[in-house]
Structure formats: structure tokens, C-alpha cells
Amino acid sequence: MQIVTTLPSATELVVALGLEPAGVSHECDWPPRVESVPSITQSRIDTDGSSGEIDQQVLDAAGNDESDATGTGVYDIDTDTLAALDPNLVITQGMCDVCAIDDIAIADALESIPANPDLLTTDPHSMADVFSDLERIGRAVGREERAAEVRAELESRIDRVRERTRDCTPQERPRVAIFDWTDPVMVAGHWTAELVDWAGGEYGLAAVGERSRPREWDEIREYDPECIVMAPCGFGLDQTAANVGDLSEREGWDELTAVQNDRVWAMDGNHYLNRPGPRLVDTLEALAPVIRPELFGDSSDPAPADEFVVPLDALETDRAALQVES
């Protein structure tokens, strides 16, 4: 079966089912071998800029009236490559037209090529939605049993984390804030509230399924998080470090409880928090020792998090050292 995916999480779900996509998006990079797969999309945004610059580019592109069947204002679709792949199934998304090209643009593009593939749209806002997408894709590609196995394995890992936090009282749960953008300030939504709850924290800034949206800084200060994780969408650790000032230079940052107690972390938001696929369970396993170190500080923890979640002050120090050396 010729499967084309238009966003990284869909690619990861397909690979988890034991299949290899014939075409992917320009953002798909996990597992690493998919980087050699033909890409059918490209971005019109310079993603090397600051968070504020990227946000302005997105706003400008989204307001572009010149978009057509080859893409939206943010993305272009390579219809020649798409046609050459002759797909049987195209997996797209309807959740966010900034994070990846949306289902409407893909449907328009498919009308311009000879192939007539099935179009499967994902729209996850919770972990249950992610598992539902896994099973829907499994049915579409004839891998129902494999989908059930993958889901069971992932849920087993979730249960191991939840078992340690199930009896936590509200008073024991630290107030957590996870930012998936820094200029403007945005609190991570969708599945994030579940992950924080399962990891033993309180997520008072967003409910399960609520979309990420800009927040007033005074709202953050009033909430006064006891644990902060910076995980901007699309940013790795280096790019997050480069944009720390978006938060740390705001009035009242140094007065936040999390900052005073050195409980501020940076996470690879590109690969983990913001991809609604199998690795959200890795994200949970990484958040648990950050949020509740007293419960998850022993060698039996299922997954080391050092590679993609680090103390923010250590990340800034390492980055400064690298700049001096260069």
C-alpha cells in the first residue's frame, strides 16, 4: 500500500504499525530513516527566526489571499511528487493549520492529480484521541491487531506512571505550567493536562482537550507555577535556549515560585510534547521525574529523559559556553 503522511505524528503512527510511508511532510524526521522518503510539502516560514518573528510570519502567511490548491498560506504542496507516488491512502490533520498542512488543502491538491486515494483526517485533542487515530489508521491499512498491540503496550507504560501518582492528594500536586510558545506566551493545551495529571501535578491553566492559545502574562503570574517546562512547538533544545528571554525578561519572572526554587526545565517540544503520536508516552515518562522527583527518582524509571528535557539554567550555561568556544 502506498501511504502518504502529511505530519510527523501520522508518520510515527504508521511506522509503529510496522509500515513505511511512501511520502511524508518536510517536517517528518522520526524515525531518522524517514528523512530520505520523498517529501510532498514545504514551509513558507523561516523557522530559524525568533519565536516572535516566526509568529509574525505565520500571521502574515495566514492572511495571504494567494493560496490555492497547491497549499495554504503557510505551506506548499508538491503535487508533482504527490502524483508520482500514486498513493492509496493519505493521512492528514484538521487540528492546527499552523503545525501542519490541513485536510482541506490536501483534499484540494488531490483533485488535481490522477490518483484517487482514501483521505484519513486526524484531529486529536486528548490521549484517547491519539489512540483512536492509531486504531483508525490500523483499520485503514489492515493492521488492526498490530494497532491493538501497540495501544496495549503504550497504555501499560502509562499505567506504570499513574500507579505511583494515583493516590496523590491535591495538596501534594505542584502547580505546573508548560509553555508551547513564548512570544506570544501560550500554555500547552490538548493532551498536556492529562500528562501532567498522570505525572502527579496540577495543571490549572488548561483543561483536557482545550486548544493552546495566547495568555496574558498577568494570568501566569497569578497562577504562580511551582514547576515550569518550556517546550515551544517545533523547537529543539537549542532553539528553546535562544528564546528563553521571551519569558525570563518579563516582569515578575524572578518572583515565580518555580524560578526561585530552580524548577524550570526545557523540553524538546518539536519531538515530544507537540507530536500526538506514540512518543507522547515518552513525554509522560520524562515529565514525571520533573514534576514529582520524590516519586520518580530511582533507577527503575522506564525511560531516561536527559536527552530531551534538561534544567533551563544548565541549558543556558551550555549554550553560552558553546558560543564562547565558537
- Enumerate the domain spans of the chain: 3-123, 166-325
Better-scored residue on pLDDT, 325 or 159: 159
Predicted local distance difference test score (pLDDT) of residue 304: 46
pLDDT digits (tens, 9 = 90+) for 47-103: 777 888 877 877 776 665 444 444 456 788 999 999 999 999 999 987 665 556 777
What residue ranges in the chain does DSSP mark as E strands? Answer: 3-5, 41-43, 75-77, 89-93, 118-122, 176-182, 185-187, 213-214, 227-230, 264-267, 309-311
With 60 as the cut, is the pLDDT of residue 216 above it?
yes
Average pLDDT estimate for 227-255? 94
With 90 as the cut, is the pLDDT of residue 323 above it?
no
Q: Do domains 3-123 and 166-325 have the same CATH topology?
A: yes
Average pLDDT estimate for 253-259? 98
% pLDDT > 90, the chain: 73
Sorted by sequence, the CB contacts under 8 Å of residue 307 that are 6+ apart come out as: 268
The Cα–Cα gap between 309 and 318 comes to 14
Which of 47-61, 112-126, 141-155, 194-208 is predicted least confidently?
A: 47-61
The Cα–Cα gap between 194 and 62 comes to 30
Average pLDDT estimate for 177-187? 96
> Coil, strand, or helix at residue 202?
strand
Is 3-123 CATH 2.40.50.320? no
Predicted local distance difference test score (pLDDT) of residue 102: 72
- Cβ 187 vs Cβ 239: under 8 Å: no
Predicted local distance difference test score (pLDDT) of residue 168: 94
Predicted local distance difference test score (pLDDT) of residue 3: 98
pLDDT digits (tens, 9 = 90+) for 154-171: 999 999 999 999 999 999
For 5, phi then psi, to 5°, come to -115, 145
Hey, CA dihedral for 210, 211, 216, 217, is it positive or negative? positive
What is the third-level CATH fold of 166-325?
Answer: Rossmann fold (3.40.50)
DSSP-derived pairing of the beta strands 185-187 and 213-214: antiparallel
Predicted local distance difference test score (pLDDT) of residue 264: 95
